[in-house]
Amino acid sequence: MSDRRSFLKFSLLSSALLASSKTLLAYHPANKAKLPTAVKDQPIVISTWDFGREANAGAWNVLHTGGRALDAVEAGVKIPEADPENQTVGYGGRPDRDGRVTLDASIMDENGRCGSVACLENIMHAISVARAVMEKTPHVLLAGDGALQFALEHGFKKENLLTPKSEAEWKEWLKESKYQPVMNVENKTHRSIDDTPGNSRNHDTIGMLAMDAKGDMSGACTTSGMAFKMHGRVGDSPIIGAGLFVDNEVGGATATGMGEEVIKIVGSHLVVELMRQGMTPEQACRAAVERINHKNPEAYKNFQIGFIALNKKGQYGGFALQKGFSFAVRSGKEEKIYTAKSLY
């Protein structure tokens, strides 16, 4: 009898749980009407930092001729990946503390498919390897030697990514071997690394989001990560949901800055979900930055975080923890670099 009673209790509890989970999951049909309809024939691309301008130009070549957003974001971020003067992405990126350039990258398309590579060495275009992971394997993320092996098997060329400039900086760093990531903060010590405006950072990422003429969205994110990091350290950029997230029903988001903090709140996914609930891209980026700040109110003293987002209406925005974050926009209407608002 008591068995029967507990069975009944269990069944009642399960139906109650089922009912409440149905309510929780009901956002799809219930909110469908609220989801924005994509704008058509108004392609647009946005990217992190000033160097996003050149990357956007590469993406725009694809977008304005009717190409697919996925091809646009890959073509776009390949530009900083190949630029030896850009010391935070791809070839020429600053190495880890062992003198090895290790790359993180991810890509996501309009069908929610995604691919990424982490801690990849000796291949310039990590983004194209990430795309190959997405298109040619049943997996999402390949790391380290396995990622390199996969790349070589798929025809990527092995090359030395450490430029004399980055090697010299690493040797200089070795003298003190002080591991202190200095972020992209206009008013702080990062300028001790390199005083060239726009390149005065010891780590940045190119994160890019695009919507094509059909109204479909894709995103890409690629970086050499934090300069002089521990060998094997992986940041947010190849972690789907952290450094990059795209939901073709809602929009996309991507992150730059202290990857560990972005991972802790699964930042880009959070931004997209907040847009799903009705926030504008800037509001959603701000809320994600506020979440990081709330969890760790001392954070602003030590690092930078920046998010950018693009929604299906073609609205975009960005927000950062600290001053000094910029993002570049290219569309049929404008080609511009914006300074993001910041919490501090």
Give catalytic status of residue 254 as yes or no: no
Q: What angle do CA 328, 36, 318 make, to 5 degrees?
A: 25
Identify the residue among 58, 93, 235, 252 touching ligand ASP (CB under 6 A).
235
Catalytic residue among 88, 205, 222, 223: 205
226 binds ligand ASP (CB under 6 A): yes
Tokens of residue 69, six digits: 């957003």
182 binds ligand ASP (CB under 6 A): no
**In whole angstroms, how close is the CB of 197 to ligand ASP at the nearest point?**
17
Which of 242, 188, 194, 221 has its CA nearest to residue 86? 194
Count of residues interacting with ligand ASP (CB under 6 A): 13
**In whole angstroms, how close is the CB of 191 to ligand ASP at the nearest point?**
16
Identify the residue among 76, 257, 281, 324 touching ligand ASP (CB under 6 A).
257
130 binds ligand ASP (CB under 6 A): no
Within 10 Å of residue 136's Cβ, how many Cβ atoms? 12
Specify the stretch interacting with ligand ASP by CB under 6 A; choose among 72-80, 233-241, 278-286, 307-315: 233-241
106 binds ligand ASP (CB under 6 A): no
Identify the residue among 121, 169, 204, 212 touching ligand ASP (CB under 6 A).
204
Q: How far is CA 272 from CA 111, 189, 283, in A?
A: 15, 33, 11
Specify the stretch interacting with ligand ASP by CB under 6 A; choose among 78-86, 222-230, 271-279, 283-291: 222-230
237 binds ligand ASP (CB under 6 A): yes
Specify the stretch interacting with ligand ASP by CB under 6 A; choose among 78-86, 235-243, 277-285, 328-336: 235-243
Q: Which residues of 212-225 are buried (b: 16+ CB within 10 A; e: fewer)?
A: bbebbbbbbbbbbb
Q: In what order do the strands lie in the sheet with 114-121?
A: 141-143, 114-121, 102-108, 217-223, 206-211, 44-48, 326-331, 335-339
80 binds ligand ASP (CB under 6 A): no
236 binds ligand ASP (CB under 6 A): yes
Nearer to ligand ASP, 152 or 266 (CB): 266
94 binds ligand ASP (CB under 6 A): no
Q: Decide if 69 contacts 203 (C-beta within 8 A).
A: no
203 binds ligand ASP (CB under 6 A): yes
> What is the C-alpha to C-alpha distance for residues 169 and 92, in angstroms, rounded to an integer?
11
Element (H, E) at 309: strand 305-311
Nearer to ligand ASP, 331 or 342 (CB): 342
200 binds ligand ASP (CB under 6 A): no
Q: Decide if 307 contacts 268 (C-beta within 8 A).
A: yes
Q: Which residues have CB under 8 Å from 51's CB, separation 6+?
A: 80, 83, 86, 198, 199, 204, 206, 328
225 binds ligand ASP (CB under 6 A): yes
Task: Give the DSSP per-residue string, 181-228.
Answer: ---S-TTSGGGGT--STT---S---EEEEEE-TTS-EEEEEEE--STT
Q: Which residues are known to be catalytic?
A: 205
**What is the binding site for ligand ASP (CB under 6 A)?**
203-205, 223, 225-226, 235-237, 256-259
